Structure 1
Amino acid sequence: MNKASFGSEDFEKAYTFKSYNELIESLLEENKTTGTNQSEAMINYTQMNQKRMKRWFKTLKLSDEIKGLNIDGQNQKWLIITEGWCGDAAHNIPGIEMIARELGIETRYILRDENPEIIDAYLTNGGRSIPKLIAVDKDFNELFTWGPRPKECQELYLSLKENGSDWNEILEKVQRWYNSNKGAMLQQEFTQLLKTV
């Protein structure tokens, strides 16, 4: 079992979901977002993402399988690496947070660009793709990682990129996938992961 690339101190000083959300809201009030790219496009993505997250929290229903999982939530913690402008984070974080709350798992959030040493230990195909979730036990041994998106959505994203689709087409098709899937695959993947720990 691997030791996580972060420890208890990193976890404790990271944002709770509430403080992460408050950070994003306060930045938007100043017409800003997280990270170094403060372009109008990134700020607009962040505004859209806040609306998406609120909508997911209202509409996403947890499956009976998730609710029926018999795990000791006290024996694991989830660290989620994200940024306010990240569209995949907006679609996945509400489901992740709802699953964690249902199972009594403590979550914390860190910003990717402020924590290069952590994200660089959890690259996806060599890139700093987010959101990235790292589940650890109480001794900070890694239990599993997840991200940046459900497998089927990731396959769609990669095939669009390989076929030379432009960025707007990729965003639109990925958005459509999330809307039609309604969080089902995210929950299936977490059900499988949680059954293995």
Structure 2
Amino acid sequence: MKSIVAKALFNSHSYIEYRKLVTDLLSEGKSTGNEQSDSLTNYSRLNEARMNRLEKTIVISEDTISKLQHLDNHYIWLVISEGWCGDAAQILPILNKMALASDKKIDLRIVFRDENDDLMNHYLTNGGRAIPKVIVICKEAGIVRTDWGPRPKGATELMAKHKKEVGPIDEKIKTDLQLWYLADKGISVQEELLEIMEKIKYNRL
């Protein structure tokens, strides 16, 4: 597992690099990933607009900033993502702002799911290749401490309810999910990531 993570880190991108790669592909009418289709390209284009908006509107609370800056060690948040993923578009700008606010305690790195099969296969969700996944790595020890994702608990519950009552993912649940993120304002992601970082800090993970 350590070699798989090391390989992924070697091929990882900064947030700015990730954004540029997605944007450059869109300029060619393409999306990231092995599969290419008009729908995936359209999702990627929509996600570009979402991320641009979130970069301007997401606020990291002072309490969150203080806790991030007082972590005992330095960490890498290695995120598995793709440009067409709606959840990733909602979450990555928050992770980036948290990393920037951490006083270099957190280094955000991003890899593309379809370019990192071995890594993805270690972090399946109920047997599926759901993204984004945040893999928390302690820099000092060079080990994976825990992981998080693919979405906050409230959004996960919304999806589970839809699957139980309606069935497969459709346009309605996609819209409902985006409205949930809009109302949440990034708070759940901040709280859940802080919770697992605090657990690591006090050796409960």
TM-score for the superposition, normalised by structure 1: 0.93
Question: Hey, what's the Cα distance between the residues in 1 that align with 2:12 and 2:148?
Answer: 18
In 2 relative to 1, CA 31–131 (structure 1 residues): closer, same or farther, beyond 3 Å? same
Could you tell me which of 135, 139, 142 is aligned with 1:140?
A: 142
The answer (yes or no) to whether the contact 1:8–1:140 under 8 Å persists in 2 is no
In 2 relative to 1, CA 5–178 (structure 1 residues): closer, same or farther, beyond 3 Å? farther
Could you tell me which of 148, 151, 154 is aligned with 2:153?
A: 151
Is 1:71 aligned to residue 71 of structure 2? yes
CA RMSD across the alignment: 1.5
The answer (yes or no) to whether the contact 2:79–2:133 under 8 Å persists in 1 is yes
Match of 2:123, SS state, is: coil
Mean alpha-carbon deviation: is it higher for 134-143 or for 179-188?
134-143
The answer (yes or no) to whether the contact 1:35–1:83 under 8 Å persists in 2 is yes
Could you tell me which of 162, 170, 175 is aligned with 2:164?
A: 162
Mean alpha-carbon deviation: is it higher for 10-19 or for 176-185?
10-19
| Aligned-residue offset at 1:9 | 4.4
Could you tell me which of 173, 187, 191 is aligned with 2:190?
A: 187
Question: Hey, what's the Cα distance between the residues in 2 that align with 1:7 and 1:175?
Answer: 31
Q: Kindly indicate whether structure 1 or structure 2 has the higher relative contact order, using CA contacts under 8 Å at least 6 residues apart.
A: 1
Identity %: 36
Question: Hey, what's the Cα distance between the residues in 2 that align with 1:51 and 1:179?
Answer: 14
**Amino acid paired to 2:117:** P
The answer (yes or no) to whether the contact 2:95–2:108 under 8 Å persists in 1 is no
Question: Hey, what's the Cα distance between the residues in 1 that align with 2:150 and 2:120?
Answer: 12
In the alignment, which residue of structure 1 is the partner of 2:203? none
Q: 1:1-197 alignment to 2 at 5 Å?
A: 4=2, 6-69=4-67, 70-72=70-72, 75-103=74-102, 104=104, 105-138=106-139, 139-165=141-167, 166-197=169-200
Q: Cα deviation per residue 1:2-43 (whole Å; 9 max; x = unaligned)?
A: x65634343133111111111101100100001122111110
Mean alpha-carbon deviation: is it higher for 182-191 or for 161-170?
161-170
Q: Cα deviation per residue 1:128-179 (whole Å; 9 max; x = unaligned)?
A: 1000010111233112211111011111111111212551011011011001
Question: Hey, what's the Cα distance between the residues in 2 that align with 1:7 and 1:28?
Answer: 28
Question: Hey, what's the Cα distance between the residues in 1 that align with 2:62 and 2:112?
Answer: 32
Question: Hey, what's the Cα distance between the residues in 2 that align with 1:163 and 1:4?
Answer: 40
TM-score for the superposition, normalised by structure 2: 0.89
